[in-house]
Amino acid sequence: MKKKAPVAPAMRAGALTGQAEDYLKAIYEMEQGGEPAATTAIAELLGIAPASVSGMLQRLARLGLVQVERYRGARLTHIGRSAALQLIRRHRIIESYLVTRLGYGWDEVDEEAERLEHGASTDLVERMAAALGHPTEDPHGAPIPTSEGLVDERRLQSIADLAVGQTARVVRMSDRDSEFLRYLAGMGIRPGATVKVAEREPFEGPVTITVRGKKHPVGIAAASRVYVESAPARRRGRG
């Protein structure tokens, strides 16, 4: 209800449609490391056809949010990156709020936040942040960008990067896919947990890790989605 503006459900300053927002977040996450985000990779992450991505990238480019190199992929412009960081901030604050105030499990909150973030106003998000005391990490341990868009993306190692015998503290893990998160939780892997690599099969094989005294074999795909802070670990504050 209430008079609506022309057509686009802009609602927020950025004036992007929900879908376009998802693209920005996806590109932000994939382009880490100089390389532009590949069309197919974006398509896979968002669950849409590569052809659709090509089209959207052109639109985003027209809006000055990404820079597209034909047949190579897209990278965010400064404006695009800043927009993406704002979206990530929204997402992580909403996740934090849902977990802290409404009893959501950290392994099921991503989906709900994904839908809410497209409708929530910046004002609401900031109220949530304030209610939580301006948290700096979300429930999965991922850093929350500040409202200025900065983010501490310290280069973390994943379990897959550790050598046999190394001990490390889990800092964060990929937040999507609650099934995966529950699987990790079942082994005691969560932000703050200490893990140790007991064995490693060669050729990209599974890694056997020790968590709270119990050994668990973990596939390389899963291991590389759990970020750790390699540290002698043994009782310590923050990293």
Partner DNA sequence: CATAAAAGTTAGGATATACTAAACTAAGAG
Partner DNA sequence: CTCTTAGTTTAGTATATCCTAACTTTTATG
- Tell which one of 62, 72, 78, 115 touches a copy of itself (CB under 8 A): 115
Q: Which residues have a Cβ under 8 Å from the Cβ of 175 and sit 6 or more positions away?
A: 95, 110, 138, 140, 142, 181
Q: What's the CA gap between 218 and 135, in Å, rounded?
A: 31
- Tell which one of 48, 116, 132, 231 touches DNA (CB under 7 A): 48
- Tell which one of 11, 29, 52, 112 touches DNA (CB under 7 A): 52
Return phi, psi of residue 174, to 5°.
-55, 135
Is 147 near a copy of itself (CB under 8 A)? Answer: no
Query: How many other CB atoms sit within 10 Å of the CB of residue 104?
Result: 19
- Tell which one of 56, 85, 128, 189 touches a copy of itself (CB under 8 A): 128
17-46 residues near a copy of itself, rule: CB under 8 A: 18, 22, 25-26, 45-46
Tokens 């007991």 correspond to what residue?
A: 198
- Tell which one of 11, 29, 54, 100 touches DNA (CB under 7 A): 54
71-100 residues near a copy of itself, rule: CB under 8 A: 98
34 binds, among DNA, a copy of itself, none (CB under 5 to 8 A by kind): none
101 HSE (CA, 13 A, CB side): 13
Q: What's the CA gap between 198 and 207, in Å, rounded?
A: 8
Nearer to DNA, 46 or 233 (CB): 46
Kindly write down the DSSP assignment for every residue of 139-196, as one continuous string.
TTSPBPPPTT--------EEGGGPPTT-EEEEEEE--S-HHHHHHHHHTT-STT-EEE
63-102 residues near DNA, rule: CB under 7 A: 68, 70-73
- Tell which one of 24, 27, 30, 41 touches DNA (CB under 7 A): 41
Nearer to DNA, 68 or 231 (CB): 68
- Retrieve residue 140's tokens: 């999965």
Q: What does the CA dihedral 229, 181, 149, 137 come to, rounded to 10 degrees?
A: -60
Q: Which residues have a Cβ under 8 Å from the Cβ of 137 and sit 6 or more positions away?
A: 92, 143, 144, 172, 191
40 binds, among DNA, a copy of itself, none (CB under 5 to 8 A by kind): DNA
Instruction: Please state the closest distance from residue 4 (CB atom) to DNA, in A.
Output: 7
Stretch of residues binding DNA (CB under 7 A), selected from 15-23, 83-91, 123-131, 151-159: 15-23
56 binds, among a copy of itself, DNA, none (CB under 5 to 8 A by kind): DNA
Is 110 near a copy of itself (CB under 8 A)? Answer: yes
